[in-house]
Amino acid sequence: MSSKTSKRQQPIQRPKGTQDIFLSEMAHWHAIEQAASRFFDSAGYSEIRTPAFESTELFKRGVGEDTDIVNKEMYTFEKGDRSLTLRPEGTAGVVRAFIEQGLHRQPKPVKFFYLGPMFRYERPQAGRQRQFHQFGVEVFGIEGPAADAEVIQLAMKLFETLGLPNLALEMNNIGNSESRLRFRQEFCKRIEPVLGQLCATCQTRFQNNPFRMLDCKNPACQEAYNEPETANFLESEWTSEASQAHYAQVVSILDHLNIPYKRNHRLVRGLDYYNATVFEITSTHLGAQNAVCGGGRYDSLVEQLGGPPTPGVGWALGMERLVSLIEHKAVAGLDYYIVTDQHAHALELAEKLRLQGKRTEVDLTGRGFGKQLATANKRKAQYAIILGELEVASGVLEIKTLDSGEQVKQALTDFLKN
C-alpha cells in the first residue's frame, strides 16, 4: 500500500486511571524507594515480594465481603477454573505468604516491607488511580502496644527523612469484634428513625457494614451523625476495656517519642481486618484524597486466612500521593511568607525562623496586605504570617494556612517555641 493511500492508525491510549512515570518524576520515585528501603532495612525489616495477582478468595476473606474494595473495585478474571484478582492492597498477600511459607515458625517478630502496584476499579480523580503503588510494612507476632508505636514512629520518621515533617497523624481505637457488635446495636438504634433521610450508600451500609457509614461525605448523612445523641455515642469510649488500655499505652509511647497525633473518633478505615489501633497520616496539600498513609492492627487476619493465631500491625503509603507531596514541596519551598508593613520587626522575625530551619521570605514591597497575600499564595508558601502595626503592638501574630484559608492568632513568644 502506498503511503498516500494508507490510513494513519489511531494511537492507543493508556487505560483510564493509570499513569506513565518517566524522566524527572522517575527521580522522585527512585529517591523514595531507596530511602524507604534503606530506612526499614536499618530497622530490621526485610523486603518481601508477593504476586500482583492472587486467588479472589484471599481478598474476599481477608479484606472483607462487605467492603467497597471487594464489592465494587476488584479486577477479577477467570483462568481455567480459577478466579483470580489483581491485588487491591498488599496486606492480604503478605499474610498469605507468611502462612504458606511457614514464617510463623520464625522467631517473633517477623517484620516485612514491600513495594508494588495495586489495582482498584475506583472513579479516577486527583490522588486516586486505578493502578497505584504502595510502600507498606507489616509486623507479625507482637500483641503489645510497642509494635503499633514502632510502625507509627517509623512512618513519621520516614516522612521526616523525605523532607515532610508536618504531616498530621490521626488515630482511633475501634476495639474488637465484640465492640463492633456493640457499636452496631447502639449506632443503628440511634440512626434507624432517620434512615430514610440518608443516602442510598449509607442505607445499604446500615444493613451490611454500619461502621463504614461514618466515612460518608454526604451533608445529610453527616448531619444525622452529628445529632448530639449520636455524636456523643461516637465520641464515647464504646470499645472493650482491653482495647482502651492498649490504645492508651500506644499513645503514651507516642507522647514519649514526641510524636503529635489527634484522636479522630470517626476514623474507621475501608478494610474489615482491623481491630484496636487504626491510624491515617494526612496532608492538607492532597485535596479530597488527603491520606498519604493508612494502617492499623489486625490480630485475627492470620487466623482468618488459615494460619495459627498471630497478631499483626502495619501500614501502607500511596507512592503517587507521596510523590505529589514531594513535588509540591520542591515547588513551594517556603514555609512562611511574612505579610507586613513593619519591615524592621519582620526582618527580625524572619531571621529567627530561618535559624529554626524554616524557609521564610519577607514581603518587602509595602503593598496592601491583600496583594501581599496573593503573592504568598503564588509563592506556594505553607503559611502567611501577618505582621502589621496591631500585631507588633500586641505581640500576637495572625497565622494563615494558605491551603485551607484557616487563620489563627498566636502570641509571638509561643509561636517561636514551636
Please report, as ranges, the residues that interact with ligand HAM according to CB under 6 A.
89-91, 120, 122, 128-129, 132, 134, 136, 138, 270-271, 291-296, 314-318, 320-321
Q: How far is the CB of 100 from ligand HAM (least distance, A)?
A: 18
- Give the Cα separation of 65 and 402 in Å (integer): 41
Sheet containing 396-401: which strands, arranged edge to edge?
360-362, 336-340, 383-387, 396-401, 407-411
> Measured from the CB atom, is 125 or 236 closer to ligand HAM?
125
DSSP class of 103: G
C-alpha cell of 341?
Answer: 508593613
Q: How far is the CB of 314 from ligand HAM (least distance, A)?
A: 3
- Give the Cα separation of 311 and 410 in Å (integer): 44
Q: How far is the CB of 388 from ligand HAM (least distance, A)?
A: 40
Q: How far is the CB of 69 from ligand HAM (least distance, A)?
A: 7
> Measured from the CB atom, is 175 or 294 closer to ligand HAM?
294
Q: How far is the CB of 85 from ligand HAM (least distance, A)?
A: 14
Q: How far is the CB of 270 from ligand HAM (least distance, A)?
A: 6
Q: List b or e across 311-341, with b for residues whose CB sees 16 or more CB atoms inside 10 angstroms.
A: bbbbbbbbbbbbbbbbebbeebebbbbbbbb
> Can you spell out the DSSP letters for 281-322?
EE-GGGTTS-EEEEEEE-TTHHHHTTS----EEEEEEEHHHH
Q: How far is the CB of 120 from ligand HAM (least distance, A)?
A: 5
| Backbone torsions φ then ψ of 98, nearest 5 degrees | -55, -40
> Measured from the CB atom, is 64 or 318 closer to ligand HAM?
318
Residue 353 is inside which H or E element, if any? helix 343-355
Q: How far is the CB of 274 from ligand HAM (least distance, A)?
A: 7
> Measured from the CB atom, is 294 or 335 closer to ligand HAM?
294
> Measured from the CB atom, is 112 or 233 closer to ligand HAM?
112
> Measured from the CB atom, is 322 or 350 closer to ligand HAM?
322
Residue 360 is inside which H or E element, if any? strand 360-362
> Measured from the CB atom, is 293 or 385 closer to ligand HAM?
293
- Give the Cα separation of 202 and 309 in Å (integer): 33
Burial class of 417 by CB neighbour count within 10 A (0 to 12, 13 to 18, 19+): exposed
Nearest to 255 by CA among 160, 414, 149: 149
> Measured from the CB atom, is 270 or 388 closer to ligand HAM?
270
- Give the Cα separation of 154 and 144 in Å (integer): 17
Nearest to 73 by CA among 119, 133, 17, 15: 119
> Measured from the CB atom, is 134 or 340 closer to ligand HAM?
134
Q: How far is the CB of 117 from ligand HAM (least distance, A)?
A: 11
Closest residue to ligand HAM, judged by C-beta, is: 318
| Backbone torsions φ then ψ of 77, nearest 5 degrees | -145, 155
Q: How far is the CB of 211 from ligand HAM (least distance, A)?
A: 15
> Measured from the CB atom, is 174 or 291 closer to ligand HAM?
291
Q: How far is the CB of 151 from ligand HAM (least distance, A)?
A: 8
> Can you spell out the DSSP letters for 196-256?
GGS-HHHHHHHHH-GGGGGG---HHHHHHHTSHHHHHHHHS--S-HHHHHHHHHHHHHHHH
> Measured from the CB atom, is 201 or 342 closer to ligand HAM?
201
Residue 61 is inside which H or E element, if any? helix 56-63
- Give the Cα separation of 360 and 194 in Å (integer): 51
- Give the Cα separation of 243 and 175 in Å (integer): 5
